[in-house]
Amino acid sequence: MVIQVLDSHSSDCSPPIVFVGRNRAGNWVAREKRGSFGGLFINRAEALKYALLKNGRHPESVIEVTREIELDIPIP
């Protein structure tokens, strides 16, 4: 299950870097480095699937983190 907070596409040519990891509640999080998009997931596979979909299928730009990660999306 994904809860998408914000979705915007970057204007540069490089694929966005997406961090994937668990939050303090144990949920899986996928979050773009600058916070332009992200979501909460029930499992790792869905978080990775979302990250790859949103970054144009560039696995080299998906970084799995071992520390806690929160879905901190800036509100304009």
> What residue segments make up the domains of the chain, in order of their start?
1-76
Question: What is the pLDDT of the chain when averaged over all its residues?
Answer: 86
Q: Is the pTM of this model over 0.85?
A: no
Name the range with the highest mean pLDDT among 11-20, 33-42, 44-53: 44-53
Per the CB < 8 A criterion, the answer to whether 29 and 43 are in contact is no
Kindly state the tokens that stand for 25. 């509640």
| pLDDT, position 1 | 41
The answer to whether residue 64 scores a pLDDT higher than 50 is yes
Rounded mean pLDDT, 28-55 = 96
Containing 2, the helix (H) or strand (E) segment is: none
